[in-house]
Amino acid sequence: MGLLAFLAKLADWRRRDQLSGELDEELNFHRAQLERDGGAGHARRRLGNLTRLKEETRDMWSIPWLDQLQQDARYALRGLRRSPGFAATVIVTLALGIGANAAMFGVVDRLMFRPFAYLKDPDTVHRVYLRWHDRGTVRTDNWMEYTRFLDLQKWSSAFSQYAAFADRNDAVGVGDAARERPVAVVNASFFDFFDAPPALGRYFTASEDSLPRGADVVVLGNAFWQSEYGSRNVLGTVLQVGDMHLTIIGVTPRGFAGVAEGEAPAVYLPITTYAGSRRGNQGTTYYRTYNWGWMDFMVRRRPGVTVTQASADLSQAYVRSWNAEAATDHIAPASVAKPEAIAGALKEAAGPDPGLEARTALWVSGVALIVLLIACANVANLFLARALKRQREMAVRLALGVSRGRLLRQMLTESLLLAFIGAIAGVLVAQWGGAGIRGLLISKEGASLAVIADWRTLGIVAGAAVVAGVLTGLAPALITRRELATALKAGTREGTYQRSRLRTGLLVAQGALSVLLLVGAGLFVRSLERVKAMRMGYDADPVLFVERNNRGVNLDDSALVRLNLSLLDAAQRLPGTEHAALNTTLPFWSTSSTSLFITGIDSVRRLGRFTFQQATTDYFRVMGTQILRGRGFTPEDRASAPRVMVVSDGMARRLWPGKDALGQCVRVRADTMPCTTVVGIAENIVERDLTGTDRFNYYMPLEQDHLDFADGLLLKMRGDARAQQEAVRGALQKLMPGASYVTVQSFGDVVDGQRRSWRMGATLFVAFGLLALIVAAIGIYGVIGYNVAQRMHELGVRIALGAQSGDVVKLVLGQGMSFALTGIGVGLILALVVARFVEPLLFHESAKDPAVYAGVGLVLLAVAMLACALPALRATRADPNAALRGDS
Amino acid sequence: MTQTPDNRRELLPGTLDMLILKSLTVQPMHGYGIAQHILRLSGDVLFVDEGSLYPALQRMRQQGFLKATWGRTPNNQRARYYTVTRAGRRHLGERETGFAAVIEAMLRVLKPA
């Protein structure tokens, strides 16, 4: 039957009662006509038996399976209305399980799978990743130089399209409207990857994106155009981006974001315009040298080229490019570095080197799946309990001739109905709880997105509901295959209760899976604790950092010094400021290093990478970095005074092992420089990565060098630093000449960002672990409670024969705890096996941490005990009289 | 038992649809009218049984060849009138062509004898 024919039939099916009535009326009319023309007898003879006619006609608008389905659904609804507690428990349990999965799928889909809007034929588009060997370790990176991009484009042949692109943050607009915004700098060919006709104007052309510097044109992002220009026709208007003055030539269509993962770029400009406008050497050599790796590169495979062939083609081009670089720079030869290029996923999270966060997100989705499994086990158990209760009803219906298939269908209808109600509730759960998860995982902007953003998530939810419905509906069907006669013969009370291996199995599985999740939760929580407890060497939370951006305003050195000093002075006068200092670098933000020369050491460089900070007097007070020995900076460390430096503990130990670093002489930048004397030793700081061990930093007073080197300042605030960000910006911005501006950011936020993957892992594992624990506790409680209810008669007899309350409690608890202990045991072993796979995601935490395992075991034991306690107490109230009087 | 005059013939199988559709191309009719129309036009030869007529009407309505609407007879009685849809006309055309070909072929076989 074709779809249209089926739809016609379905339409008739829906109004079959009406159709039937109409047919009756029509036949009555026919009869009346016959009577009029030939008399009553004639009519009776002709229309004597209409049953066959009606049956034949009605068959045409009936769909038997749909009739049955409707019947089953009505039956199921009636049954559920009679046991609302059961229905509610099932729905809530499934809602939690399905909701958790919908939320996690939404996140993982966004991170890894959902293609970028407007992208043509996404399967053939790749981001290019480079891999090489560097002193024993394999490095994978997707940042490369423009020169490298040109090389790979020139020497590869497997691709039909190439585009270089980079996401930057830059000031957009002038005056009060100027803000740092995401800026996409892309090749003209970038737009050819998409099927996205501009909403207004045009995109830039290859001639506007040419070497050495492209044209001064810009394309606006749709959202930016709407919010800043109210969708006016702005073509031809000039917009300042950074220190470039660009003419607006077009606007992207709504929803276009290029290949940006987070916020959509505000503007798109030619990559050569951006790079060619860079000051100094970079602006003129970026396409000829290999020392500025800053952009990404995407390609489209030619038809018929496989991914493997594409990677091979890129790799040979990369080897040639590597050799070209080796000819001018001192890098390891290709034979040692083994350079290799990969045509990988456009989404970095799905590429060869996904970040810690993407990997954690994948693990957490596995966790969500386990929560769903536990929920299913639980619901299956509830259905089983119900099926046992309804065994007689089923037996009677079977005896009356209802087929087993029909019964099975009925049970499936019931479970699927509940699963779908649960799924709808689950979407609500995901919508509500998912905002938090996405906030943790993606970005602040991502948090506000709807969970059901497209059919993909909807499909997953529906799929999860079907799986849950079938799994939970089939379980009771298995046990109704009992002998009819036995069930019919048995009274409502039986002497012995039935143990079901399936039910206890499900219970043990639930317990084991909960243990697994809770162990994961424990490991991540310990990691987070360790990350947080780790002394970073500074107190980030009260610190704001101000970046000064000249944006093309030309200031000579002395003007810069004056500006810096006036900024420092203004910052110190702010009511919320405790200390302030001009600085040059900041942990997790930027680092500097230079050559050091020390008598008695051949090559300082070979001992490690030593990075320096130049800042004004109050630096250590602003950062809260402790001076362990010696002194910090004082106002006496002026340009005219002897040069001094403070070194980190790690650096002191590395450079002068076994000796006192204080008083040592270091020559900075050149061995002809005068001595810089070590006057203090500061605690180690975490500068680039939380997990590293080399902490080599040194500090020099900015006053002894050039004050114009500082491109920002640090402020230690009283009270909530983040709340004062805007006030600080407003106060300092007033001092900035022309289009130059300052940005103010919370250093605490920057440091927090570094801990994100652990915080995310801990939060989500704990949330899902607790969810699993609650569901498992409900499971144990349900099963033990049901067993007690079934054994009331037997327990009554026991009490009548002299059993004490204590004996009864022991009996019930004993049974419950034996399930629990088995589950815990299995779970702990399982956890030991699985946990080592998450170890790379942990921070200074062993996947075999005994404290975690013991803690989880105890928690589960306590919860199981609680879940059994209520039924056990109820068991002590078994009435011996009722037991003895009752039938049997 | 139905009284059937000698000259009445049963319909050839598969021709009822065609006759109904053809009748309705003249004007919309109710079920009784269709049966009467076919009987009259065929010179009281082709007799349409109610037991076949109404299922056929329902089937063709579901297939979209007919539309059924309630209307009034000249005597102001409520009756269900059928009209041919465009799909119905197309169907009729196909059936007529096919039928003509079959009849012609049959006659060619039968004539020489």
CA–CA gap between residue A645 and residue A630 (Å, rounded): 11
By CB atoms closer than 10 A (0-12, 13-18, 19+), residue A458 is: middle
Cα–Cα dist A790/B93, whole Å: 73
Backbone angles phi, psi at A862, to 5 degrees: -65, -45
Average pLDDT over residues A237-259: 92
- So what's the pLDDT on residue A37? 81
CB–CB of B54 and A22 under 8 A?
no
Q: What is the pLDDT of residue A176?
A: 67
SS (H, E, C) A689-758: CCCCCCCCEEEEEHHHCCHHHCCEEEEEECCCCHHHHHHHHHHHHCCCCCCCEEEEEEHHHHHHHHCHHH
**How far is C-alpha A175 from the geometric centre of its chain's CA atoms?**
37
Contacts of B87 in chain A (CB under 8 A): none
Per-residue pLDDT of A375-420, as tens digits, reads: 888 888 877 777 777 777 777 877 887 777 777 888 888 888 888 8
- pLDDT in the model for residue A888: 45
d(CA A578, CA A618): 10
Interface test with B, best of A6, A53, A55, A59 (most B CBs within 10 A): A53
Place of tokens 């992208």: A119
pLDDT of residue A481: 57
Average pLDDT over residues A421-445: 70
Does residue A486 surpass a pLDDT of 50?
yes
> What three-state secondary structure class fits A849?
coil
Instruction: Compute the average pLDDT of residues A493-498.
Output: 47
Residue A714 pLDDT more than 60? yes
- Strand boundaries in A65-216, DSSP class E: 125-134, 137-141, 159-172, 179-186, 200-201
Per-residue pLDDT for A28 more than 80? yes
Mean pLDDT score, A656-677: 90
CA A441, CA A360: separation in Å to the nearest integer? Answer: 9
Amino acid at A527: S
pLDDT for the residue numbered B3: 47
Compare all CA atoms of chain B with the CA of A25 and give the residue at the minimum distance.
B79
Pick from A770-784, A804-818, B25-39, B85-99: least confident:
A770-784
Per-residue pLDDT averaged across A255-259, rounded? 90
Contact check, Cβ <8 Å, A8/B63: yes
At residue A298, does pLDDT exceed 90? yes
Token pair in block for residue A607 = 């001992």
Residue A11 distance to chain B (closest CA, Å)? 9
CB contact at 8 A, A798 and A396? no
Q: Which of A47, A56, A60 sits opposite B62 (nearest CB)?
A: A60
Q: Which residues of A140-163 are buried (b: 16+ CB within 10 A; e: fewer)?
A: eebebbbbbbbbbbebbebbebbb
- A1 vs B: CB within 8 A: no
Distances (CA, A) of A492 to A78, A444, A592: 22, 59, 83
Higher pLDDT, A542 or A411: A542
Cross-chain Cβ contact B55/A61 below 8 Å: no
Average confidence (pLDDT) over A302-316: 94
* pLDDT over 90, % of chain B: 31
The Cα A293–Cα A142 span in angstroms is: 9
Q: What is the pLDDT of residues A603-656, one digit of tens each?
A: 787 787 888 889 999 999 999 999 999 999 999 998 889 999 999 999 999 999
Torsion of CA A322, A327, A331, A336, to 10 degrees: 60
Average pLDDT over chain A, rounded to whole? 84
User: Is A57 in Cβ contact with B54 (below 8 Å)?
Assistant: yes
User: Over the stretch A605-620, which tens digit does the pLDDT of each residue have?
Assistant: 778 788 888 999 999 9
ipTM surpasses 0.95: no
Chain A hits for B75, CB-CB cut-off 8 Å, are none
pLDDT at res. A310: 95
Residue A48's pLDDT is what?
Answer: 65
Instruction: Report the pLDDT averaged over residues A850-873.
Output: 87
* More reliable by pLDDT, A17 or A620: A620
Segment 45-74 of chain B within 8 Å of chain A by CB: 50-51, 54-55, 58-59, 62-64, 68, 70
Contact residues on chain A for B32, CB-CB shorter than 8 A: 29-30, 33-34
pLDDT, average across residues A785-808:
80
Beta-carbon separation of B80 and A61 below 8 A = no
Q: Does B25 touch chain A (CB under 8 A)?
A: no
In the 8-state DSSP scheme, what is residue A279?
A: S
Q: Vertex A105, ends A104 and A107: CA angle to 5°?
A: 65
Contacts of A23 in chain B (CB under 8 A): 54, 58
Residue A340 — pLDDT band, cuts 50, 70, 90?
Answer: very high
A30: nearest CB among B31, B55, B58: B31
Helix (H, G, I), strand (E, B) or coil at A678: strand
The residues pairing with A613 across neighbouring beta strands, listed in sequence order, are A699
Contact assignment for B62 to A9 by CB distance below 8 Å: yes
How much of chain A, in percent, has pLDDT values that exceed 90? 30
Q: For residue range A548-558, what is the model confidence (pLDDT) as tens digits?
A: 887 777 788 88
User: Looking at per-residue confidence, does A76 or A152 come out higher?
Assistant: A152
Whether B77 sits inside 8 A of A9 (CB atoms) is: no
Ramachandran sector of residue A231 (left: φ over 0; alpha: ψ -120 to 50; beta: rest): left
Strand-pair category, A611-615 with A238-241: unpaired
Alpha carbon A791 to chain centroid distance?
48
- Mean per-residue pLDDT, A329-336: 82
Q: Which of A29, A42, A50, A58 to mutate to test the interface with B (most CBs of B within 10 A)?
A: A29
Burial class (CB in 10 A: 0-12, 13-18, 19+), A717: buried
Beta-carbon separation of A5 and B59 below 8 A:
no
Give the number of other Cβ atoms within 10 Å of residue A316's Cβ. Answer: 15
Contact assignment for B62 to A34 by CB distance below 8 Å: no
What are the C-alpha distances in Å from A643 to residues A15, A580, A627, A638?
A: 96, 22, 18, 8
- The pLDDT of A240-255, averaged and rounded, is 92
SS3 A461: helix
Chain B residues with CB-CB distance to A27 below 8 A: 50, 54
